[in-house]
């Protein structure tokens, strides 16, 4: 059976792969490949984050009756990641691959511990708490 | 599972882990200075008083200091476990650990039992508070996986190590009259192969895939490894209760099992890292590899010792095993982790306080260049230490100097990170 844990964790792995490509291209000073890789990664992440923020989190908050719980911390961390996305794009615009590398390192640690908390705790709680898992996953799938 | 106890917020205040991280390198400096001051006499035997003091500067002063601070930081993140009253908890662990470690090491180094006596209540208090908090937090943690299981076993091993250490301290100052040699073996076994190895295993399950983007550890191995290691260490300890020849046979079989577990962990981790998705140069990875190869070298040396009584009875054997494990394995992994944790924490705590985009990124907080220099010096100090185990003169002075330089570089890098934080906060 498809679960939120499986569905959204797979997206994390996919984004990790795109992140690694962008970072490797920047480390090789290949700006064009770094920009292409970063754009793919950034779009993939935004798509993933919006699935959570617009569909999964509201469903979870509705089911638990609280928007001040774990989802509020996750939303805050999404904003922290978005600030780093913006800084990484600025570094690419300035052709500053060493700043990009430092920001990528910082994002990686932030993103990984965030993903970890989602995969180990929040998603599993959602799988247990939410009634219509298939419906919620269908809605996320349908998000443009 | 109740949601009420769950908070996914990361962080205790930054001063909680940093007070441990900033003090720990001072113990590396003390260890290096103590080695230089004692000279070749320190390496005459593994039982020499100066060497006992120096060893505890590494194990309690540096290793346990960082491991305690890191666990207070990591428990909320990795296990979703909140540490209650973080400031008070940090003080109640940090101060007695710091003063107790200084007194114990001084007492051992200078053969002054009264200092050891003074250290007993302080270290007992520090570890009791740490263990109580860590076990309480982990037991209530919503995340249950191979990693939290290994950490819980590591804490159980620490409680045994500390209890045995307190018994030994009581023997040293004459409060108890027990045969010390078997107790020492247990104390060392549970401290290094139990507490240290199990904690590294538990942390590795999480951080190796996270930071190098590797495949996860194979599920079946992750599930049994830490439990098997703990069980084998327990069986190895039981030999004290059995008559010969059963005791000897059991101890040998269990020790072989422990060696196999440790080698399995090192080889799997090295393989995962080799096939990692993230290919950019990474200083933490260099430290981890140094640590894992040292761990394998220690296992091989132990195997060679089992084959040759001449080797296992030599002073070199005991010294080199300890050096490979403590300096090669534990110090490498711990220092490598510090280079990920500390710059991230500085960034993390600053980004909440400064306007968007103003917090310096991790590589501006601790630069790759200075961290890489530290790694090179650290590797050299390990090689020089091994040379000194074979030829104390003149290598002990080279090894001591390299250890001193490594400690200075670590301290300088961590102080720089802390300064960046303090200065940025002062401006807000």
pLDDT in tens, B366-384: 999 999 999 999 999 999 9
pLDDT in tens, B177-209: 988 889 999 999 999 999 999 999 999 999 999
Same domain membership, residue B57 and residue B41:
yes
- Domain residues for B332? 322-428
Structural domain contains residue B426: yes
pLDDT in tens, A105-123: 999 999 998 998 899 889 9
Query: What pLDDT was estimated at residue B9?
Result: 58
Same domain membership, residue B169 and residue B69:
no
Structural domain contains residue B17: yes
- B161 confidence band (pLDDT: 50, 70, 90): very high
In terms of Cβ atoms closer than 10 Å to its own Cβ (0-12, 13-18, 19+), residue B409 is buried
Report d(CA B268, CA B272) in Å as an integer: 6
Q: What is the mean pLDDT of residues B115-130?
A: 97
Does the structure show a pLDDT above 80 at B6?
no
Counted domains in chain B: 3
Structural domain contains residue B119: yes
A41, A104 contact by CB (below 8 A): no
B210 vs A24, A73, A112: nearest CB:
A112
Rg (CA), chain A: 16
Same domain membership, residue B191 and residue B100:
no
Cα B5 from chain centroid (whole Å): 30
Q: What percent of chain B has pLDDT over 90?
A: 84
Structural domain contains residue B284: no
Same domain membership, residue B359 and residue B253:
no
Q: Which residues of chain A have pLDDT under 70?
A: none
Report d(CA A30, CA A21) in Å as an integer: 11
B417, B342 contact by CB (below 8 A): yes
B342, B366 contact by CB (below 8 A): yes
Does the structure show a pLDDT above 60 at B7?
no
In terms of Cβ atoms closer than 10 Å to its own Cβ (0-12, 13-18, 19+), residue B422 is exposed
Instruction: Inspect the interface and report whether the beta carbons of A74 and B8 lie closer than 8 Å.
Output: yes
Q: What's the angle, vertex CA B166, arms to CA B202 and CA B302, rounded to 5?
A: 55
Instruction: Inspect the interface and report whether the beta carbons of B281 and A109 lie closer than 8 Å.
Output: no
Report d(CA B3, CA B183) in Å as an integer: 44
Distances (CA, A) of A132 to A2, A69, A126, B239, B406: 11, 21, 11, 56, 57
Residue at a domain's end among B95, B124, B143: B143
Interface predicted TM-score of the whole assembly (ipTM), two decimals = 0.94
Counts for chain B of helices (H) and strands (E), in that order: 17, 0
| CATH for A4-142 (1.20.120.520, 3.40.50.720, 3.40.640.10, 3.40.50.300) | 1.20.120.520
Structural domain contains residue B106: yes
- B74 confidence band (pLDDT: 50, 70, 90): confident
Instruction: Inspect the interface and report whether the beta carbons of B280 and A101 lie closer than 8 Å.
Output: yes
Query: What pLDDT was estimated at residue B3?
Result: 38
The full set of domain ranges for chain A reads 4-142
B341, B11 contact by CB (below 8 A): no
pTM: 0.95
Q: Which residue of A has its CA nearest to B76?
A: A117
Same domain membership, residue B273 and residue B152:
yes
Does the CB of B9 have a partner CB in chain A at under 8 Å? yes
- Using a CB–CB cut-off of 8 Å, the residues of A that contact B are 16-17, 19-20, 23-24, 27, 64, 69-70, 73-74, 80, 83, 86-87, 90, 98-99, 101-103, 105-106, 108-110, 112-113, 116-117, 120-122, 125, 128
Which residue bears the tokens 């989190």?
A57
Q: Which residue has the higher pLDDT, B59 or B243?
A: B59
- B2 confidence band (pLDDT: 50, 70, 90): very low
Instruction: Inspect the interface and report whether the beta carbons of A20 and B278 lie closer than 8 Å.
Output: yes
Structural domain contains residue B308: no
Query: What pLDDT was estimated at residue B356?
Result: 87
Q: Which residue of B has its CA nearest to A126?
A: B3
Query: What pLDDT was estimated at residue B79?
Result: 67
Which residue bears the tokens 């080199």?
B320
């Amino acid at each position: 059976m498809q679960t939120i844990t499986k569905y959204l964790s797979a997206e994390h792995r996919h984004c990790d792969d795109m992140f690694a490509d962008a970072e490797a291209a920047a480390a090789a000073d290949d700006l064009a490949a770094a920009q292409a890789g970063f754009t793919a990664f950034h779009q993939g992440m935004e798509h993933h984050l919006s699935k959570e923020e617009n569909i999964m989190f509201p469903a979870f908050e509705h089911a638990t009756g609280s928007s001040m719980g774990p989802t509020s911390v996750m939303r805050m961390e999404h904003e922290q990641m978005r600030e780093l996305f913006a800084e990484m794009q600025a570094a690419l615009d300035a052709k500053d691959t060493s700043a990009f590398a430092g920001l990528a390192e910082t994002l990686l640690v932030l993103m990984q511990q965030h993903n970890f908390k989602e995969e180990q705790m929040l998603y599993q709680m959602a799988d247990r708490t939410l009634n219509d898992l298939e419906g919620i996953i269908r809605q996320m799938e349908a998000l443009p | 599972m109740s949601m009420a106890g769950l908070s996914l917020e990361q962080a205790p205040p930054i001063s909680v882990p940093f007070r441990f991280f900033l003090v720990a390198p001072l113990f590396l400096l003390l260890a290096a200075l103590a080695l230089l001051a004692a000279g070749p006499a320190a390496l005459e035997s593994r039982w020499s008083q100066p060497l006992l003091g120096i060893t505890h500067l590494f194990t309690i002063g540096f290793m346990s200091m960082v491991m305690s601070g890191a666990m207070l930081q990591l428990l909320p993140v990795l296990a979703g476990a909140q540490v209650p009253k973080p400031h008070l908890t940090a003080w109640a662990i940090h101060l007695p650990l710091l003063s107790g470690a200084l007194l114990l090491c001084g007492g051992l180094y200078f053969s002054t039992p009264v200092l050891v006596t003074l250290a007993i209540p302080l270290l007992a208090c520090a570890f009791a508070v740490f263990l109580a908090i860590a076990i309480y937090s982990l037991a209530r943690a919503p995340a249950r996986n191979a990693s939290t299981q290994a950490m819980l076993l590591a804490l159980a091993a620490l409680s045994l190590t500390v209890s045995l250490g307190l018994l030994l301290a009581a023997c040293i100052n004459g409060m108890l009259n027990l045969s010390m040699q078997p107790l020492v073996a247990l104390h060392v076994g549970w401290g290094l192969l139990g507490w240290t190895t199990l904690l590294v295993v538990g942390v590795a399950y999480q951080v190796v895939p996270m930071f190098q983007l590797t495949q996860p550890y194979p599920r079946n191995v992750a599930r049994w490894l830490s439990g098997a290691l703990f069980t084998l260490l327990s069986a190895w300890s039981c030999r004290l209760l059995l008559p010969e020849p059963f005791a000897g046979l059991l101890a040998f079989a269990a020790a072989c099992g422990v060696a196999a577990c440790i080698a399995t962990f090192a080889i799997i981790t090295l393989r995962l890292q080799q096939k990692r998705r993230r290919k950019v140069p990474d200083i933490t990875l260099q430290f981890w590899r140094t640590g894992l190869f040292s761990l394998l070298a220690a296992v091989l040396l132990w195997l060679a010792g089992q084959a040759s009584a001449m080797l296992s009875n030599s002073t070199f054997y005991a010294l080199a095993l300890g050096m490979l494990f403590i300096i090669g394995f534990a110090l490498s992994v711990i220092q490598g982790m510090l280079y990920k944790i500390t710059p991230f924490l500085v960034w993390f705590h600053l980004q909440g306080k400064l306007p968007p985009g103003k917090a310096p990124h991790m590589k501006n907080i601790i630069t790759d260049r200075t961290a890489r220099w530290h790694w090179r010096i650290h590797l050299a100090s390990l090689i020089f230490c091994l040379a000194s185990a074979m030829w104390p003169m003149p290598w002990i002075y080279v090894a001591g100097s390299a250890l001193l330089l490594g400690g200075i570089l670590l301290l300088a890098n961590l102080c720089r990170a802390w300064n960046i934080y303090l200065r940025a906060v002062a401006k807000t």
